[in-house]
Amino acid sequence: MAKRSVRGDMMRQAIAREAARLMIDHGHEDYGIAKRKAAERFGVTDLAVLPRNTEIEEALAEHQRLFGAEEHARTLSAMRRAALEVMRLLEHFEPRLVGPLLSGTATAHNDITLHLFADTPESVAVRLLDYGIPHQVVERRLRTSRDVIEAYPALRFTAGGHEVDATIFPKDGIRQAPPGPVDGKPMRRATRAEVESLANGAGSHLSHLSPRQ
C-alpha cells in the first residue's frame, strides 16, 4: 500500500512538471487543459493521480527558477512595466493587476490581466478611444461563488507589444474578488503602487503584498 502511494505521488509530480512545461513552452493558460494533456503524455487515466492546480503553479515557479531564470525575470519586468503604463492611463477605473503576471509565473504567452471598476463598460471604451487605442469587446465568465458563474464585459487591446485583457466590474465589485483558478480563494489584486514595487525589483512574486482586495 505504501509503495502504491509513493508511486502515485511520483506520477502526480511528473504530471505537474509536464503540465508546467506545456504551459511555458506552448502557451497553454488553462490548468485543466495542461493537466489533461500531461496525463495523456504519461498514459494516465486515473483522476486521483492528477495534481492540484497549486501543485502545477509550484512546478511552474520551479521550472522558471531552474531554466532561463534571467530571461524570465526580463519578461516579467517588461510585462509589469507595460501593465503600469496601462494602469496609469486607466487610473480613473481603479485598475488592479491579477493573474500569472502578478504571481510571478507569467510567460511571454500570457496576457496582462486587469480588473477595472466602472459604472458602465462604455466609459472604459471611450477612455481607450480618447487615447487612440483600438480594442475588442469580449465577455468573461467568472465564478463568483461555488455554484454561480456570471458574465462580465471585458476589453482586449495591445500595450507595449503585450496583449491586455481587462475585465470590467461594477464599482462595488472592488470589495470582493472572484475565486481564482489556482486555489479557489479570492483572487489577489494588486494596486498600481504594489505593481510599481514589483517592477522596481522588490521581488518577482507577490508574497510581500497586502491582503486581497
Question: Which residue type, as a one-letter code, is found at position 177?
Answer: A
Centre a 10 Å sphere on the Cβ of residue 149 and count the other Cβ atoms it contains.
10
Of the candidates 39, 34, 31, the one whose C-alpha atom is nearest the C-alpha of residue 14 is 39
Any idea which residue has 486607466 for its cell? Answer: 90
Q: How does pLDDT run across 99-114, given as a tens digit for each residue?
A: 999 999 998 889 999 9
Q: Torsions phi, psi of 175, nearest 5? A: -75, -30
Of the candidates 72, 62, 104, the one whose C-alpha atom is nearest the C-alpha of residue 188 is 104
User: Residue 102: exposed, middle, or buried by beta-carbon count in 10 A (0-12, 13-18, 19+)?
Assistant: buried
* Residue 210: predicted pLDDT: 41
- The angle subtended at Cα 19 by Cα 49 and Cα 143, nearest 5°, is 85
Of the candidates 125, 196, 130, 189, the one whose C-alpha atom is nearest the C-alpha of residue 157 is 125
* Residue 211: predicted pLDDT: 41
Quote the CA–CA distance of 74 and 70 in Å, as a whole number. Answer: 6
Average pLDDT score over the chain: 88
Which value, in Å, is the radius of gyration of the alpha carbons in the chain?
Answer: 18
* Residue 40: predicted pLDDT: 93
Cell reading at 77: 519586468
Q: How does pLDDT run across 109-136, given as a tens digit for each residue?
A: 899 999 999 999 999 999 999 999 999 9
Q: What separation, in Å, do the N-terminal and C-terminal C-alpha atoms of the chain show?
A: 44
Give this prediction's pTM: 0.84
Confidence of residue 207 (pLDDT cuts 50, 70, 90): very low
